[in-house]
Amino acid sequence: MPTLAGALGRPILLVGGKGGVGKTTVAAGVALEAAAAGRRTLLVSTDPAHSAGDALGVSLGPRPTQVEDRLWALELDPESETDRYMDEVRSRIEEAAPPRLMNEIESQLEAARGSPGAEEAAVFDRFTRILDAAEYDRIVFDTAPSGHTLRLLSLPEAMTGWLDSLVSRRRKLGALGKMWRNVAGEAAGGDAQGGDAVLEALEERRDRFKRSRSILVDPQQTSFVFVTLAERLPILETHRIMTALAAHAIPVGGVIVNQVLPAETSDPFLRRRREMEALHLADIRNRFGDWPIGYLPLVDDDPVGAAGLTGLLGRLRPAQLEEA
C-alpha cells in the first residue's frame, strides 16, 4: 500500500496545486526535513512569484544557495533563463552559419526571444539539466500553479519527437555536405574533421530530454504530490490536473489537504465553516481515495523560517486526527 511518506520521500518530488494553497510551504518544509534527515537536498522554485526565499527567510537566485546543512535552494527566473538559452542558441548558430547571414539571424533571434514559447522552452531546458545533475539525493520542486506545470511536464514528450526529426534532417544534410565536399574538395568549406557541432548539440539535448522523461515517469524516482484546501475550487482544479498528469504517465503520489480547521470551537462562524469543510473533506476522500491523503492543520501564526516550516510539516497526519 503506497503511503504519503513514501511519496514525499522520492528522490524527485514535485509539489503542485492551485495558487495560494500552500505549495511553497509544503515544498520548503519537506526539503528542510529531508536535509535534517541527512540527505543532500535541492529545493527548486519554478514559480515566477518566488516566495521560496520569503518562506525560508533567505534571498535566493538562479544558482544554488546553501540555506542549511545539506540544503540548497534556487529560484528559476524565466527572464534570465531565456537570456542564457538564447545566448547559447546564438553561439551555436554563429559556429555553423555563414557570417553574411548573421544580421538576418540576429533579427530572427530577437523575434524568437519575444515569442510566447521562448521562456517555457528556456525554463524547461534548465529543468532537464537540474534533473540530470547527480550531486543531490533529493530534489524538491515547488511548482507554479497547475496549467504552467502541466505544459512543462508535457514538453519532454513533445520536444523529443521534434528534436528527433531535427536530428535526422541534420544527419541527411551532413551526408549531402560530405558528398559535396568529396566532389568539390575542401574549397567547398565545412569542417574537415567531419564534426558537426549543431548535430552534437541537438543530440545532447534530445538525449537529455529523453532521460528527463524516463525519470519523470518512473514511480520509484518521482512523485507528484498535490496540495489543496478543503474548498470547492482547489479540489476541482486538483482533480483536473491529476487526471491530465495520469494521461502523461506522471506518477501521482498523493494529496495534502492544507489548512484544516481546528475541531474544537465555540465560535458560530467557525462552526459553520467546519460544516462546509466536512462536506468538502468527504468530496476529497471520494475523488482522491485511490491515493494516500494527508492533512495539515490551519495554524495561528505564519509558518515561515526553518522552525515554522518543519513545525508545521511535523503535524502532517494520514487522517484527520484532530477530528477524533
Ligand X SMILES: Nc1ncnc2c1ncn2[C@@H]1O[C@H](COP(=O)(O)OP(=O)(O)OP(=O)(O)O)[C@@H](O)[C@H]1O
Q: Which residues bind ligand X (CB under 6 A)?
A: 17, 19-25, 47, 49, 51, 145, 258-259, 296, 298-299, 302-304, 312
Whole-angstrom CA distances from 169 to 41, 75, 87, 158, 251 are 40, 36, 23, 17, 34
Q: Among residues 45 and 128, whose Cβ is nearest to Mg ion?
A: 45
Q: How far is the CB of 318 from Mg ion (least distance, A)?
A: 24
**Can you point out the beta strands (E) in the chain?**
12-16, 41-45, 65-68, 71-75, 138-142, 222-229, 252-260, 293-297
What's the rounded Cα separation, in Å, for the pair 286 and 181?
A: 68
What's the rounded Cα separation, in Å, for the pair 34 and 41?
A: 7
Residue nearest Mg ion, Cβ-based: 24
Binding region for Mg ion (CB under 5 A) out of 7-15, 16-24, 167-175, 266-274: 16-24
Q: Among residues 20 and 318, whose Cβ is nearest to ligand X?
A: 20
**Residue 294 contact partner, candidates ligand X, Mg ion, none, CB within 5 to 8 A by sort of partner:** none
Q: How far is the CB of 41 from ligand X (least distance, A)?
A: 18
**Can you point out the beta strands (E) in 179-251?**
222-229
24 lies in the binding site for Mg ion (CB under 5 A): yes
**Residue 309 contact partner, candidates Mg ion, ligand X, none, CB within 5 to 8 A by sort of partner:** none
Q: Which of 131, 155, 169 is nearest to 12 (CA)?
A: 131
Q: Among residues 27 and 159, whose Cβ is nearest to Mg ion?
A: 27
**101 half-sphere exposure, CB direction, 13 A CA radius:** 10
**Residue 21 contact partner, candidates Mg ion, ligand X, none, CB within 5 to 8 A by sort of partner:** ligand X
51 lies in the binding site for Mg ion (CB under 5 A): yes
Three-state DSSP at 70 gives coil
What's the rounded Cα separation, in Å, for the pair 113 and 133?
A: 27
β-strand pairing of 71-75 with 138-142: unpaired
Q: How far is the CB of 210 from Mg ion (least distance, A)?
A: 30
Q: How far is the CB of 5 from ligand X (least distance, A)?
A: 18
Q: Among residues 188 and 299, whose Cβ is nearest to ligand X?
A: 299
Q: Which residues bind Mg ion (CB under 5 A)?
A: 23-24, 47, 51
